Structure 1
Amino acid sequence: MIHRSKAPLRIGLAGGGTDVSPYCDEFGGAILNATISLNANATIERTTDGKITLEALDRNETQSFDQAPVLPLNGQLDLLKGVYNRIQKDYPFAGTGFRLSTYVDAPAGSGLGTSSTLVVAIVGAFVEMLQLPLGEYDIAHYAYEIERSDLKLAGGRQDQYAATFGGVNYMEFYSNDKVIVNPLRIRQRYLDELENNLLLYYTSTSRESAKIIIEQSKNVTEKKSHSIEAMHQLKQQAQMMKEALLKGQLDEIGRILDIGFEQKRRMAAGINNELIDTIYDTAKKNGASGGKISGAGGGGFMIFYCPGNTKYKVRTSLDQFGGQYRNYQFVKHGLKTWTV
């Protein structure tokens, strides 16, 4: 039997960074995000060779092991190993062997939540195979614990919940890992217009988000007022974005994104750079009313709100930078699993 899963990547629209400790533990965080038609995919197939074979198809990486309750973490395929190790610890299972294969529809470090979404997809494949009694909040928190506690990877909380729940959500983050996911009932014509006007642009550069997030957390711990105040403003931005989308005030979207762009660069060094600033300025000069860096910053994807019929002009103006425009649609589904 073959057990499959897929989980959608997300676009963060507002509040990015306020889901990271210690800020959300002390002040509470808020983020608004939406899942899109790019996915992380995982497949588990039982085998008869008695081996555990792990492969990331999009990275051309493969490792094979004899059956063991714990696989060694060595920097290669650690996300796959981390999920397996945690599942074996909490829900031990035996068998003849299996092959776990994964691929993601966007590059690692691109700012769409690829790593966390992949962990959700892998957890989902094991949940499907073992028929584990885990609900949406359980799976999202489980994926978060594997990344942050087991693998010691720095990061926030939004990606695991976006990938698991799907749709457009206003998320709240509090101390003691408390997360509240509020699905937004946005009229379809508002979503269609948002999708039509929002340009998803890959700068063709990736970055290691952990370094930026570590500095961001350090700035809060050290009570650096400029960083904390920026996060306060980004939390307010998420509330503004929620109201604009629910009321259909789409002309406000670009302005709200622009507010976030200015505030986010104050959170930590490395979030923006000369290339990002030049791309952003070029997009605005050619019709975009605002935009943002997706994810932690430093590279990866950027989004721009292009009102009216400016999207094509903005897209053409960015050709000089060698990036890539990506088609997408908003999707309402979160994690999906099935067996064939």
Structure 2
Amino acid sequence: MIVRSRAPLRLGLAGGGTDVSPYCDVYGGSVMNVTIDKYAYAILSPSDSGRCEFEALDVGVSEVHDCGAIPSQGGPLQLLKGVHARICRDFLSGESQPLKVQTFSDAPPGSGLGSSSTMVVALVQAFAEYYALPLGEYEVAHLAYEIERNDLKLAGGKQDQYAATFGGFNFMEFYAENRVIVNPLRVKDWVWSELEASLVLYFTGVSRASADIIDQQSRNVTSGNQTSIDAMHSLKKEAVQMKECVLRGDLPGLARTLQAGWEAKKNMASSISNPLIEEVERVAFANGAHAAKVSGAGGGGFMMFVCSPEKRIGLIRALAEQGGRLLDFHFTQQGAASWRIT
């Protein structure tokens, strides 16, 4: 039997960063996001070697280990090994069975689309299918979060795991003790289409380590840096405003909220913006963009721009001359999914 799974990447529309501890534990966080038709994939199959095999197909890295001696932390395959270790511990009485685990993704790590967390969700979903584990959406997302943040000690927030698991447009609330509420939004068809036609997604060509930015953001909250805390308060309010704009189809309001959120986000940590991002932003505004925002923690990765659909082609041409690349995408309603090949 072969099991395949996929989980969608996400665009953070508003509130990103308020899902990170300790802010969400103290004040509560709110995030508005949407998934797109770019995915992280996982494949599980029996191992012919009688050992445990791990392979990231898109980067050409593989490891083979005796099933009872698998290092789970560190290295380019730590997500694969970390999920495997947790599933064995929690559901297989600690026994590791011979298995081949393979992955690939439509976006690189550090893209700002939640690719690492989405990969963990795809892996958890695949293991749940392979071993017929009784895991619902909240359980898959929470387990993926625990593996990434607690087991592997990777810094970050909570929104990516829940976005990848649930899919679609979601308004998410984050509270102390890992309490999360996902509110799926019923977005009108014309709003869905108009927003797709109004968004441009541009990869700066720079992948960044989000952990460094998130660590600085967390330290700012812990130390009582009021500028950073006030910025996160603003981001949380803008997530609520973004939800209202999407539900009402208020595209001008959406653009204003997106831009206000980006300006507030830059006050959370000094490394969120840089000269490259600022230059791309300048070019975009000179060629029809109404709003700009970096997706994810900041520092690089993908940038989002809102423009009038009739300005889209001109904006794309101008951005293409900046050395990065454009990503064609559509929104998707489906979250993580898995299937069996027998």
| Same fold, TM-score > 0.5, yes or no | yes
Shift of 1:64: 0.3
Partner of 1:33: 33
Amino acid at match of 1:319: A
**3-state SS in 2 of match to 1:309:** helix
| Superposed CA RMSD | 1.2
Partner of 2:294: 293
Partner of 1:44: 44
Q: Does the 8 Å CA contact 1:48/1:96 hold for their aligned counterparts?
A: no
Partner of 1:272: 273
Partner of 1:66: 66
Q: Report 1:88-103 matches (<5 A).
A: 88-92=88-92, 97-103=98-104
Q: Return the TM-score normalized by structure 2.
A: 0.97
Amino acid at match of 2:219: K
Amino acid at match of 1:176: E
Q: Does the 8 Å CA contact 1:172/1:179 hold for their aligned counterparts?
A: yes
Q: Return the TM-score normalized by structure 1.
A: 0.98
**3-state SS in 1 of match to 2:289:** coil
Shift of 1:291: 1.5
For the residues of structure 2 that align with 1:148 and 1:47, how far apart are their CA atoms?
28
Partner of 1:230: 231
Shift of 1:286: 1.1
For the residues of structure 1 that align with 2:162 and 2:291, how far apart are their CA atoms?
26
For the residues of structure 1 that align with 2:250 and 2:72, how far apart are their CA atoms?
51
Partner of 2:5: 5
For the residues of structure 1 that align with 2:266 and 2:62, how far apart are their CA atoms?
38
Is there any run of 5+ residues in structure 2 with no aligned partner, and where?
Answer: none
Partner of 1:217: 218
Is there any run of 5+ residues in structure 1 with no aligned partner, and where?
Answer: none
Shift of 1:72: 4.2
**3-state SS in 2 of match to 1:141:** helix
**3-state SS in 2 of match to 1:24:** helix
Q: Does the 8 Å CA contact 2:68/2:96 hold for their aligned counterparts?
A: no
Q: Are residue 111 (structure 1) and residue 146 (structure 2) matched? A: no
Give every structure 1 segment of 4 or more consecutive aligned residues whose post-TM-superposition deviation is greater than 2 Å. 69-74, 93-96
**3-state SS in 2 of match to 1:50:** coil
Partner of 2:82: 82
Shift of 1:308: 3.9
Amino acid at match of 2:112: G
Partner of 2:57: 57
Partner of 1:135: 136
Q: Does the 8 Å CA contact 2:9/2:35 hold for their aligned counterparts?
A: yes
Amino acid at match of 2:80: L
Shift of 1:76: 3.0
More displaced 10-residue stretch of structure 1: 311-320 or 184-193: 311-320
Amino acid at match of 1:246: L
Partner of 2:327: 326
Which string of whole-angstrom CA distances, capped at 9 and with x for unpartnered residues, describes residues 119-149 of structure 1? 0000111100000011000000000000000
Q: Does the 8 Å CA contact 2:114/2:160 hold for their aligned counterparts?
A: yes
Query: Matched residue pairs, number?
Result: 340
For the residues of structure 1 that align with 2:225 and 2:12, how far apart are their CA atoms?
25
More displaced 10-residue stretch of structure 1: 304-313 or 88-97: 88-97
Partner of 1:174: 175
Q: Does the 8 Å CA contact 2:295/2:302 hold for their aligned counterparts?
A: yes
Q: Does the 8 Å CA contact 1:52/1:66 hold for their aligned counterparts?
A: yes
Amino acid at match of 2:85: N
Shift of 1:319: 2.2
Shift of 1:226: 0.5
For the residues of structure 2 that align with 1:316 and 1:267, how far apart are their CA atoms?
32
Q: Are residue 306 (structure 1) and residue 294 (structure 2) matched? A: no
**3-state SS in 2 of match to 1:12:** strand
Q: Does the 8 Å CA contact 2:202/2:326 hold for their aligned counterparts?
A: yes
Q: Percent identity?
A: 51
Which string of whole-angstrom CA distances, capped at 9 and with x for unpartnered residues, describes residues 26-70 of structure 1? 111000000000000000011232111100001110000111175
Q: Does the 8 Å CA contact 1:70/1:88 hold for their aligned counterparts?
A: no
Q: Does the 8 Å CA contact 1:227/1:267 hold for their aligned counterparts?
A: yes
For the residues of structure 2 that align with 1:211 and 1:62, how far apart are their CA atoms?
27
For the residues of structure 1 that align with 2:280 and 2:201, how far apart are their CA atoms?
13
For the residues of structure 1 that align with 2:309 and 2:111, how far apart are their CA atoms?
28
Shift of 1:320: 2.5
For the residues of structure 2 that align with 1:290 and 1:255, how far apart are their CA atoms?
7
Q: Does the 8 Å CA contact 2:88/2:96 hold for their aligned counterparts?
A: no
Partner of 2:203: 202
